[in-house]
Structure 1
Amino acid sequence: MVRKMGVYAVLAYVIYGLFFYWYLFYFANTKLPFEFQGTKADPATFLNGRELMLSVEYSKIRNLLFFLSTPFEWLFYFVILLFGLSKVFKQWAENSSKYKLLQTGIYIIWLSFFAFLATFPLSYISYSLSKTYHISTQTFPSWMKDELIDFWINYGTMLIIVPVVYWLMKKSTKRWWLYAWLLSIPFTLFMMFLQPVVIDPLYNDFYPLKNKELETKILAMATKAHIPAQHVFEVNMAEKTNAMNAYVTGIGSNARIVLWDTTLDRLSDNQILFIMSHEMGHYVEKHIYFGIAIYLLLSLFGLYFVYRIMNWAINRFGKELKISDARDIQSLPLLLLIISVLMFASSPLTNLISRYEETRADRYAINMTKNPEAAISSFQELTRSGLSQVNPPLLVKIFRYDHPSMLDRISMLEEYEIQHRTK
């Protein structure tokens, strides 16, 4: 039975991968609708022939890697359980220490290490792909350093969360999910507060914007929008990527507006002002706080579903999965598998909400700057620098895009330009 379940799991993954390969490379139609051809949203009007070809190639491969990566994680956790490796990790932990807390930490490090090894090939392929298409400028040692930082941050986070969750399971087998959710509220807020000042600087250097003339313009816009900003930060991303970006991070006094130095180097002041007003739109409309609220609401339902599905799976397949009790630490791969599946399943909803907020921020930005030419050209440059797909396939947009497509964004700006040109 165990061997049969393993074969079925691998076969299901292969069929899934073949489906998305067929969908992305042969079925999906990414051509622009006739009404958009020749407009400023048409990549043929602002990309040369080589850039068009590269953007199509790069997008297809990158999207395929996206759809392969998450289910591969599910397959890994399933195999770990099916072949008793989770039980082996637990035995190694028990043989290494007589203290329960240390045993949990040792179990987690073994599971994390094998997960890192299993997913490393896909991660490296993604890195190599971005190097091949000149998106990434990062050296392998620098990339490897970031991967190891990711590993230890994830391990540290699990080292805090996992012992608490399993302690709650033992204290309350029926309501542990609710207590875990209640504890997740202050933890989530605390991590968001730490993000800009503790976690992000581990990857890159952040410093106040060097261009003081531009900073004055940005802060003047912030004052107009009633945003209590004192600094705009830039981050040294040129040594890692040719892509451009800007974002808002953190909450409360640690909230920051951040510009990549690649954005500063390649865009004009007016284009940057549009991008910054977009980020201010997120602040003004409190998208960060709405995002936290939505995340916490979804996590409440998610933890309940984890509780229900986990108990069902152990009752139905406990013998095959080598799990006799959900409260046993060796059930952790099953817990992580269920969480990952639920997050993937909920991504169409969370992406839809995010795209709505991004559209709102775009509208806020164009109403503040009233410069559609700068806005449109900034999106065109973002498309060029990241070899982005202007009109992505439907499934890619649903599962992957937390921002509107460039077709949606540029066409909205063109409508604004036409409306205000006639007034």
Structure 2
Amino acid sequence: MTISTEMSENRQRKASKYAATRRTLFFVNSGLGLAALLLVLFSGFSLEIRKLIESWNNNQWLVVLLYMILMGGAYAILTFPLNLYSSLYLPRKYGLSHQTLGGWLIDVFKGAVIGGIIGLFLISLLYLGLRSLPEWWWLAGGIFYLFFVIIMSNLAPVIIMPLFNKFIPLENDELRERMLRLADKTGARVKGIYTMDFSRRTSASNAFVTGVGNTRRIVLGDTLTQHFTPDEIEVVMAHELGHHVHGDIWRGIFFDAIITMVGLFIANLLLQNTLGAFGFREIGDVAAFPLLALVLTGFGLFTNPITNAYSRSREKAADYYALDITENVASFITCMKKLANQNLAEVNPPGWAIWLFYTHPPISERVRLGENYARKQGLNPYPDSGYPQGESGSN
């Protein structure tokens, strides 16, 4: 498959429809979740479920586990049709996925098992904290969350991620040596450069930095290494190295931990002042979980634009770094345009959508960044367009 370096109007029309559908599904899914939480909270259903479990066994550890399994299972069944459409059939409809239903179900099962084990472990510890430290559980929870994320960031690339995808060291010797020279140039200590079998499920391309400490690595999707030029791959690699050099993984972990602790603190205040209104015994009453989930969900919706803006600022800094270290503006711009075509990315999304959903600057902004960088440096971002060196061709 050959990917055009020019924006395709037809692809952009499809991209806009695809993005609009995904945003609609997000609001439907969010509304469904909020409605379910409100229903079980105000109907007294949550209290009845807890009473039913306690009539069988009063061990609070077991009560929490059974309550979460029942409620989580019910929610998974409720949202299954929507998840099936949004994560399997919609990408297939727009040519972004060729995953089979069987393959998707296997991934869902793996995710449910892993997420269930981790989730139940964390929920059990949360309610231990709620019962043991009713005034300070939010602080203990925030601190624990920080260390948990650090541990998982270290383990995920070698334990969890390989359960879903195959990671192999970059096999192209020439490209690997070029990437290693770039890493040396940046002064970054990279533990490995890997390719990931994106093509098994999707036609989209991506690359990312993952892991901390001895598991830190840069991962390039095989759809990227197959369809992009070495110059374009080098720009992508330089962007990922920018995250590494800037310490963005650690920045993100601590930023997320602070946001989480603030959310838990606010949840504590609201829970302490509303428990009686719903008939809950104490802050550690598992029947109050829908109330806790509502507060944290509302806080997440409120802070999501803040975390997205922070993420976009780090991505922009990594783009600048890639331009500085490679001095290859033309490849940066063609890479962005090819990503837009291949990934069906909306080049000019609405401002409100950027604010609410985008963790990366939109493609149009990244292309302008390259053009402006070229103009300031006296470079030509479009060497094949006939513009003389030193003219960017942009207004």
TM-score by structure 2 length? 0.90
Q: What does residue 347 of structure 1 align with?
A: 304
Q: 1:388 aligns with which of 318, 326, 345?
A: 345
The equivalences for 1:15-414 within 5 A come to 46-91=6-51, 93-94=53-54, 97=57, 99-127=59-87, 128-315=89-276, 317-319=277-279, 323-414=280-371
**2:229 and 2:130 mapped to 1: Cα distance?**
55
Which residue identity does 1:371 align to in structure 2? N
User: In the TM superposition, what is the alpha-carbon distance from 1:281 to its structure 2 partner?
Assistant: 0.1
Compared CA separation, residues 174 and 99, structure 1 to 2 (3 A): closer
**2:164 and 2:187 mapped to 1: Cα distance?**
31
Moved over 6 A (4+): none
**2:42 and 2:110 mapped to 1: Cα distance?**
30
Structure 2 gaps of 5+ residues are: 380-389
**3-state DSSP of counterpart to 1:101:** helix
**2:36 and 2:227 mapped to 1: Cα distance?**
42
**1:114 and 1:310 mapped to 2: Cα distance?**
24
Please list the CA deviations of residues 176-208 of structure 1 after superposition, one character each: whole Å capped at 9, or x if unmatched.
Answer: 111222222221211111111111112111111
User: In the TM superposition, what is the alpha-carbon distance from 1:370 to its structure 2 partner?
Assistant: 0.9
CA contact (8 A) 1:135 1:242 kept: yes
**2:240 and 2:10 mapped to 1: Cα distance?**
32
CA contact (8 A) 2:141 2:261 kept: no
CA contact (8 A) 2:25 2:86 kept: yes
User: In the TM superposition, what is the alpha-carbon distance from 1:369 to its structure 2 partner?
Assistant: 0.9
CA contact (8 A) 1:96 1:103 kept: no
Please list the CA deviations of residues 50-97 of structure 1 after superposition, one character each: whole Å capped at 9, or x if unmatched.
Answer: 323211211211122223323322222222223333234434544665
User: In the TM superposition, what is the alpha-carbon distance from 1:144 to its structure 2 partner?
Assistant: 1.6
**2:191 and 2:142 mapped to 1: Cα distance?**
35
Give the aligned length.
376
User: In the TM superposition, what is the alpha-carbon distance from 1:234 to its structure 2 partner?
Assistant: 0.8
**1:46 and 1:66 mapped to 2: Cα distance?**
30
User: In the TM superposition, what is the alpha-carbon distance from 1:229 to its structure 2 partner?
Assistant: 2.0
**1:259 and 1:401 mapped to 2: Cα distance?**
21
Compared CA separation, residues 298 and 393, structure 1 to 2 (3 A): same
My pick for the range that moved more, 344-353 or 62-71, is 62-71
CA contact (8 A) 1:116 1:151 kept: no
User: In the TM superposition, what is the alpha-carbon distance from 1:46 to its structure 2 partner?
Assistant: 2.2
User: In the TM superposition, what is the alpha-carbon distance from 1:392 to its structure 2 partner?
Assistant: 0.9
**2:298 and 2:109 mapped to 1: Cα distance?**
25
CA contact (8 A) 1:219 1:231 kept: no
User: In the TM superposition, what is the alpha-carbon distance from 1:150 to its structure 2 partner?
Assistant: 2.3
**1:100 and 1:281 mapped to 2: Cα distance?**
48
**3-state DSSP of counterpart to 1:197:** coil
**3-state DSSP of counterpart to 1:137:** coil
TM-score by structure 1 length? 0.84
**1:372 and 1:62 mapped to 2: Cα distance?**
32
**3-state DSSP of counterpart to 1:389:** coil
Aligned Cα RMSD in Å?
1.9
Which residue identity does 1:173 align to in structure 2? P
Please list the CA deviations of residues 226-258 of structure 1 after superposition, one character each: whole Å capped at 9, or x if unmatched.
Answer: 112242111111121111100011111111110
**1:339 and 1:155 mapped to 2: Cα distance?**
19
**1:148 and 1:59 mapped to 2: Cα distance?**
27
**3-state DSSP of counterpart to 1:47:** coil
CA contact (8 A) 2:267 2:296 kept: yes
Please list the CA deviations of residues 28-53 of structure 1 after superposition, one character each: whole Å capped at 9, or x if unmatched.
Answer: xxxxxxxxxxxxxxxx9923343232
Q: Percent identity?
A: 28
CA contact (8 A) 2:146 2:254 kept: no
Which residue identity does 1:341 align to in structure 2? G
My pick for the range that moved more, 397-406 or 106-115, is 106-115
